[in-house]
Amino acid sequence: MVQGNVLPRAFYDRDPVTVAQALLGTQLIREDDDGVVSGRIIETEAYLAAQDPASHAYSTRRHGYRITPRCAPMFGPPGHAYVYRSYGRHYCCNLVTEGEGVPSAVLLRAVQPERGLEVMHRRRGTMRQAALADGPGNLCRAFAIDLALNGWDVTRGARLWVAMPPVAPALQIVRSRRIGVADDLELRFAVVFRGTGGALCERNVRCETGTASGSRHGQCSTSTSANTACAHQPRVRCCPLELSALC
């Protein structure tokens, strides 16, 4: 078993916005009969406990949320997985945050694969490495995450967990609206990579001469500069992030 520096429960026992950013650059690790697969988390979304209609725990009554059999894992304790099936087609994996009884979580949207590539290729049926764990459904297929891991304690360092890399990277991130959510909350966080000519570009937005074209699954060729808006993803803002400062 390769555990690494497993993130403790205290890491998750914070508000989801902080945890969503702190997870960027950490290593998601999955171990099963196929062996170990792992990769760096590069895109997340925060889901709030109250006043967040996109949350599965949202309610217009009482404190703004309610518990149901489906979303029960969101109520904690923190540091557990909340896995659900989306539209009956694929799974989505969230990590529960804040104290027990407060339903908030961070959705894992994308991982940059590092270990177990052959296994991921077989599971996904594609040889395109960039597409292996791009998007929450693809991520769960590549990492063999399903309802059997719903409620799993990711602080145990077995089956499914998150570890701090040996060297905490200094990251450039963008903050924007969540994918497929019709609100103005900027609760999506993604690592920014350097594209052609050294321009900063966000991996899920294709930008050309300051405007966006193509689907959100495209790669950037020429991106808008930091702190400028993109028509595809309104109010995208770039900011430096020192991973160790949030952990």
User: For 92-134, what is each residue's pLDDT tens digit?
Assistant: 999 999 999 999 999 999 999 999 999 999 999 999 888 999 9
CA angle 158, 163, 165 (to 5 degrees): 145
Residues 29, 71 within the same domain: yes
Residue 90: give its domain's CATH number.
3.10.300.10
Q: Which of residues 227 and 10 earns the better pLDDT score?
A: 10
Identify the residue whose tokens are 């459904």: 137
Residues 85, 136 within the same domain: yes
Tell me which of 164, 182, 215 is where a domain ends: 164
Contact present, 204 and 139 (Cβ < 8 Å): no
Tell whether omega for the bond before 69 is within 30 degrees of 0, i.e. cis. Answer: no
Residue partners of 112: CB distance under 8 A and separation at least 6: 39, 40, 42, 133, 191
Indicate the number of domains in the chain.
Answer: 2
Kindly state the average pLDDT of the residues 55-82: 86
Q: Which of residues 62 and 226 earns the better pLDDT score?
A: 62
Residues 66, 176 within the same domain: no
pLDDT of residue 44: 98
Residues 75, 113 within the same domain: yes
Instruction: Produce one character per residue of 142-154: b if its CB has 16 or more CB atoms within 10 Å, e if not.
Output: bbbbeeebbebbb
Residues 159, 192 within the same domain: no
Residues 233, 116 within the same domain: no
pLDDT of residue 238: 52
Tell me which of 123, 141, 164 is where a domain ends: 164
Computed over every residue of the chain, the mean pLDDT equals 80
Residues 179, 109 within the same domain: no
pLDDT for 151-205, tens place per residue?
Answer: 999 999 999 999 999 887 788 999 999 998 888 789 999 998 755 444 444 554 3
Residues 160, 70 within the same domain: yes
Residues 105, 177 within the same domain: no
Tell me: pLDDT of 239 over 90: no
Burial zone of 84 (CB within 10 Å; 0-12 exposed, 13-18 middle, 19+ buried): middle
Tell me which of 147, 164, 181 is where a domain ends: 164
Residues 127, 199 within the same domain: no
Tell me: pLDDT of 245 over 80: no
Contact present, 45 and 71 (Cβ < 8 Å): no
Residues 74, 184 within the same domain: no
Listed range (23-37, 39-53, 81-95, 221-235) with the worst mean pLDDT? 221-235
Q: Which of residues 243 and 137 earns the better pLDDT score?
A: 137
Residues 75, 143 within the same domain: yes
Rounded to whole angstroms, how far apart are CA atoms 51 and 234?
A: 21
Which residue range forms the structural domain that includes residue 40?
A: 5-164
